Amino acid sequence: MLTTLFFLCIMLLGVPIGVCLCLAGLVFIFSSGDTVLFQSFPVQMFGGVDSYGLIAIPLFILIGEIMNGGGITRRLVELAMAFVGSVKGGLAYVNILANCMVASIIGSATAQVAIMSQIMVPQMEKQGYDKTFAAGLTVYGGMLGPIIPPSVMFVVYGVLAQVAVGDMLIAGILPGILLTLLFFIIIACMGLVYNYPRSEQRTLRQRLITIAQASPTLLIPIVIVGSILGGFANPTEAAAVGALAAALIGRFVTKEFRFSMMPAILLKSAIYASIVLFLVAAAAVFSWLLIYGKVPQAAAAWIQTVAKDPVSFLLLTNAILLLIGTVIDGIPGLIMTVPILLPIATDVYGIDPRHFGVVVVVNLVLGLMTPPVGLSFFVAAAVTGAKAGKMFIVTLPFFLVSCVALVLLSIFPSLSLAFLK
């Protein structure tokens, strides 16, 4: 109880979540009276990041930074416009489709929202869309980032759950496609009510030229996802090849990337990667102390009195995680919940850990779009100037259909496991 109160107090004071986990761990050891545990504290932290799979995280981050510096994001948006053509609500479809393409490279919801808000919202405003709707739509498009591979959250989950990272990345493909199709349906339905404008008219020749010029940028996700699916490379190796492909395409195809930009890009990538990896190290200590304190066993005993089968357990988990996700970012949410809930899911209810990982990640990502915090809305608001609260209300149908997708993923494991052996 003392440890829990201390953790909540320092977290509410704004102390970074990784530091909160470490300090709470020290308080737990001190209150337990078993001072021998202090000797294992640094060993557990080091063991948490002593994993080959975690090398993929800084490499995926590096890909995103090179892509931004090389103008690849803008080319992907132009490619999406060429594919969609002149249809009612065309730019709304382009927003989601472009986010889907960018998600296959960046893998971070908040980073994707920040980037795409700068590109899509001004274009949608010029064509007559409400700025609040355009920004809110971009937020839900950014939801695809941690779901469609590559995904930093799936890498972290794979390490926490001791599941093959490659399996987790592949498991995100169908859920990402499902969400994209559901968002398309909502755009079509809302377009009938609000009479969205048609996208800019382009001749077939102009569209073919755009596709020819922008298509080489698709080599990056093809290299990353294709090499993993084909068994030619593991996620870490695929990320390294993807970073090289991004640099070469940015330099010789889009011709906006310069190798002199690499020191700044590497520094920025290292800073963000170090934050993520410190969280993982703190998670190792947190998991170790949870097991020592027999927290998973106590939680399992309570949950079994409420949930009688795997589906009811997953629906209960959804409610708990959605509540947690409203106030805590995705990766810290994984760190705090997976060590407790995963043993219950696998040992008590026999749920495949890969299926459970997809449900957890989608749930925590959805929490980024849920009040009272709704971090992704605040990111979009900072970039566009739109009101965060109004964004949530205007785009409420997207939230509801995301909840429907989450329930479907919970009930039908095949939506996560279809591409896995």
Can you tell me whether residue 283 is helix, strand or coil?
helix
pLDDT in tens, 218-260: 788 788 878 877 778 888 888 888 888 888 888 888 888 888 8
> Domain tally for the chain?
1
Main-chain phi, psi angles of 88, to 5 degrees:
-65, 130
Q: Is the pTM of this model over 0.85?
A: no
Selection from 324, 331, 327, 354 nearest residue 342 by Cα: 354
> H-helix or E-strand containing 129?
none
Calpha distance 310→315 (Å, rounded): 9
Q: Quick check: is 2 in a domain?
A: no
Selection from 116, 163, 169 nearest residue 147 by Cα: 169
- Angle subtended at Cα 102 by Cα 210 and Cα 186, rounded to the nearest 5 degrees: 95
Calpha distance 371→389 (Å, rounded): 8
**DSSP string across 209-260:** HHHHHHGGGGHHHHHHHHHHHTTSS-HHHHHHHHHHHHHHHHHHTS----GG
CA atoms within 13 A on the CB side of 63: 34
Selection from 294, 286, 288, 338 nearest residue 317 by Cα: 338
Q: Quick check: is 119 in a domain?
A: yes
Determine the pLDDT at residue 35. 72
Q: Quick check: is 34 in a domain?
A: no
Q: Quick check: is 1 in a domain?
A: no
Q: Quick check: is 170 in a domain?
A: yes
Q: How far is CA 170 from the centre of its chain?
A: 14
**DSSP string across 310-362:** HHHHHHHHHHHHHHHHTTS-HHHHHHHHHHHHHHIIIIIS---HHHHHHHHHH
Q: Quick check: is 35 in a domain?
A: no
> H-helix or E-strand containing 87?
none
Domain that holds residue 254: 18-29+41-417
Q: Quick check: is 12 in a domain?
A: no
- pLDDT tens-place values along the chain, 421 residues long: 567 777 778 766 767 777 877 888 788 788 777 777 777 788 888 877 777 777 777 887 788 788 777 777 778 777 787 777 667 778 888 888 888 877 766 666 777 787 788 788 888 888 888 899 989 998 898 888 888 877 778 888 888 888 888 888 889 889 999 999 999 999 988 888 887 777 777 777 777 887 888 788 778 878 887 887 777 888 888 888 888 888 888 888 888 888 888 898 888 888 878 877 887 787 777 777 777 777 767 777 778 788 888 999 999 888 888 877 776 667 777 877 888 888 889 988 999 999 999 999 999 888 878 776 667 887 888 878 888 888 888 889 999 999 999 999 999 999 999 887 6
Q: Quick check: is 9 in a domain?
A: no
